[in-house]
Copies of this chain bind each other. A is one copy, B any other.
Amino acid sequence: MKEIEKEKALTFIEPGPVVLVTSYDGRKNNIMTISWTMAIDFAGHIVITTGPWNHSFETIMRSRECVVCIPNASMIETTVKIGMTSGTNTDKFKTFGLTALPAKYVQAPLIAECLACMECKVVDYVEKYGFIVLHVERVVENEALQDRRMFHAVGDGTFIMDGDKEEYRQLMAAKLPPGL
């Protein structure tokens, strides 16, 4: 896992992939699967939508921090299973054979198997809608992973993997913020 520019956090959230969010409750690490996420500015803020129905929610609200990780396409089944398992009685890192690495600015762990992880602090909570507003403090990327494809939840039990890419940087030059 190699630290990269914080501005790049946007490029992992704006495409709309399924993410794995880790937290640490003082006793053990947990992971939840989230696909309701959004980039909201160019200053490192992102939003995840969740609530008390997720075991991680209380931990994240209390610790005011979490790590948002981006699994690659080879992790779809594991990601689905993480989403179907409660962290109340399960050590998900152990159950799903994932590796917790220490983060720098938060106590929640990185997931070594993911494409990238973002260490986040909770800056706000819009209770009415379950929006947790996060600020990304550090971004690390797993440059060794061969399969760079993120994947997307359709919401009906199917998932779409990244396909071909197209580049329009020149056409968009006037609106691209520095660092992207």
Contact = CB atoms under 8 A, between A and B. Distances in A.
Interface in A69-91: 76-77, 80-81, 83-84
Q: Is the interface of A mostly helix, strand, loop or mixed?
A: mixed
Interface string A143-180: 00000011111111111111111111111111110001
Contacts of A76: 166, 168
Interface string A110-142: 000000000000001010111101000000000
Interface residues of A, number: 57
Interface in A34-81: 35-40, 45, 47, 49, 76-77, 80-81
A132 to B, nearest CB: 12
Nearest to A39: B36
A31 interface: no
A11 interface: yes
Given A37-B38, A38-B37, A154-B14, A168 B163 contact: no
B176 A157 contact: yes
A102 interface: no
A155 B165 CA distance: 13
Interface in A1-39: 10-11, 14-17, 35-39
A167 B158 CA distance: 4
6 contacts: A14-B155, A16-B37, A40-B131, A77-B171, A157-B173, A158-B165
